[in-house]
A = this chain, B = another copy of it.
Amino acid sequence: MFSAEHSAETVAASFAQTGDPRLRTVLTSLIEHLHAFVKDVALTPEEWEAAIGFLTEAGQACTSTRQEFVLLSDVLGVSMLVDALSNPADGELTESTVEGPFHVVASPPRALGDSIDEAGDGEPCLVTGRVADENGMPVAGASVDVWQANADGFYDVQKPDELPERNLRGLFTTDDGGGFRFRTIVPRYYPIPDDGPVGRLLRATSRHPYRPAHIHVEVSAPGLRTLTTHLFVAGTPYLGSDAVFGVKSSLVREFATVDDPDRAAGAGLPSPFRRVDFPITVRRGVAG
């Protein structure tokens, strides 16, 4: 019979016949921690009802371009924790961070050096880098998928009526030396979508919804572990209080101002422009 004292054991026992041993392990641990939480705070029936209502609203806020549970996982630090566990820090490798909820459309393939800016506003910027493995060997033919917010802090999918389709997205392939380069504009910091239940949670807890300015970068190739990371703009607001805990100091780079008409002409950009180099080191291993 059920009792508060032995509730977790009773419920865990009901999962004893689970065929998949990993599923049984995960559920048993979930039950232990969930019941311990409810007991530690002596959750009241009214609070339980509020939680049911919150989860229901979160589910009903989800659409093909809005994922409220990913947002919830992000603001509770769970997304970053899962990422950290699956990509343990290693001084040699480029650090990973969250994918975020805006990688919902495929980036268009582009040639090295192309611009991903289809709208033509914002501070012009040249991004370069090289993909290498942990032994420093360049990785030719790697896919470098980039996506970012614009100078007003919006992704294309958030303003489909105002912004060109696939604005500020590009899929590049590294050259024989592992190199990649593209033209873009400097992204702005932005709020995560905060007009739903997760936004209400942030307001109720006096947390702001902002993420510091960054460019998303995902690197993949046969024989490489896929790396999902960000290139953060040094000096952007919110580097110390990212709403989703995604900042790692090794990923913050100066976007230096270059005031040199010759170099600007060489890069195919107006002068002055901003300039950042982002060398990337990825581990050999199973892709995924």
> Contact residues of A with B, CB < 8 Å?
1-4, 7-8, 10-11, 14-15, 17-20, 23-27, 29-45, 47-48, 52, 55-60, 62, 67, 69-70, 73, 76-86, 88-89, 204-207, 241, 245-249
Which of the residues B34, B48, B82 comes within 8 Å of A76, measured between beta carbons? Answer: B34
- Tell me, in angstroms, the Cα distance from A55 to B206 when the chains sit together: 26
Q: What CA separation (Å) do A84 and B59 show in the bound complex? A: 28
B248 touches A1 (CB 8 A): yes
Residues of chain B within 8 A of A17, CB atoms compared: 205-207
Distance in Å: Cβ of A59 to nearest Cβ of chain B: 1
| Bound-state Cα–Cα, A37 to B15, Å | 17
Q: Which residues of B contact A30 (CB under 8 A)?
A: 37, 41, 76
Query: A79: which B residues are within 8 A, CB to CB?
Result: 48
On chain B, the residues within 8 Å of A20 by CB distance are 204
- B84 touching A2, Cβ below 8 Å: yes
Rounded to whole Å, the gap between the CB of A38 and the closest CB of chain B is 5
Q: Bound complex: CA of A17 vs CA of B202, how far in Å?
A: 11
CB <8 Å contact, A84 and B204: no
Of B33, B56, B88, which one neighbours A67 at CB under 8 angstroms? Answer: B56
